[in-house]
């Protein structure tokens, strides 16, 4: 079954899939922002495939629609030590929920989860129950790094995407 929540211009079309073979009992959505090299989008797609989740860009997501899901993933690249502003603005515009499960994911130059604390707190203040987080390195060509071709070229790579898939599988098993 193909479920389309939003279609981008033809050159960037994003079909949002929910397949019965990968679906599990929880209605799942992944809201993300992916700007420069589509690092985060690669991770979001792998997780969505594993979870049978719908995907939507934070800039195009509607708060009322999001609130109909049981499990929501929120992710973006890390910019100046923070999640992308469109994701943060979207979350700040959400109504308070009562324990909806959420997970956080990111791509960044260092691939660490240290930058997740502020987003987890923001989501917690909105009533979300954080059930996990995931991070991996992403190709980074910010500022002067662009002059030397950036760092982490080729990432997220297959190993990173496998780790993202395993993270999502762990969520699926935990809540099956």
Tell me: pLDDT of 4 over 70. no
Mean pLDDT of 101-105: 97
Mean pLDDT of 85-97: 94
| Total Cβ atoms within 10 A of residue 74 | 30
Mean pLDDT of 145-164: 71
Measured CA to CA, the distance from residue 82 to residue 78 in angstroms comes to 5
User: What does the pLDDT read at residue 65?
Assistant: 82
User: What does the pLDDT read at residue 140?
Assistant: 64
pLDDT band (50, 70, 90) for residue 19: very low
Higher per-residue confidence, 74 vs 141: 74
CATH code of the domain made up of 27-175: 3.40.50.360
Beta-bridge mates of residue 24:
none
pLDDT band (50, 70, 90) for residue 152: low
User: What does the pLDDT read at residue 79?
Assistant: 81
Question: Measuring CA to CA, which residue among 22, 23, 28, 121 is closest to residue 73?
Answer: 28
Collect all residues with Cβ–Cβ distance below 8 Å to 61 and sequence separation of at least 6.
31, 90
User: What does the pLDDT read at residue 121?
Assistant: 96
Q: Kindly state the DSSP code that residue 38 receives in the 8-state scheme.
A: -
74 in Cβ contact with 103 (< 8 Å):
yes
| Percent of the chain residues past pLDDT 90, beyond the cut | 53
| Helix runs in the chain, H state only | 39-51, 63-66, 85-92, 116-125, 158-175
User: What does the pLDDT read at residue 2?
Assistant: 27
């Amino acid at each position: 079954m193909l479920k389309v929540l939003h279609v981008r211009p033809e050159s960037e079309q994003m079909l949002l899939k929910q397949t019965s073979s990968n679906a599990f009992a929880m209605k799942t959505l992944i809201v993300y922002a992916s700007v420069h090299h589509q690092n985060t989008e690669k991770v979001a797609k792998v997780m969505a495939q594993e979870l049978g989740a719908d995907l939507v860009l934070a800039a195009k997501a509607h708060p009322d629609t999001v609130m109909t899901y049981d499990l929501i993933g929120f992710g973006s690249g890390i910019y100046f030590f923070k999640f992308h502003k469109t994701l943060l603005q979207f979350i700040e515009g959400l109504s308070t929920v009562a324990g909806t499960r959420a997970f956080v994911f990111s791509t960044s130059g260092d691939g660490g989860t240290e930058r997740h604390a502020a987003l987890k707190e923001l989501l917690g203040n909105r009533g979300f129950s954080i059930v996990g987080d995931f991070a991996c390195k992403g190709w980074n060509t910010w500022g002067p790094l662009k002059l030397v071709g950036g760092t982490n070229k080729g990432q997220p790579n297959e190993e990173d995407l496998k780790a993202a898939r395993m993270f999502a599988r762990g969520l699926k098993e935990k809540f099956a």
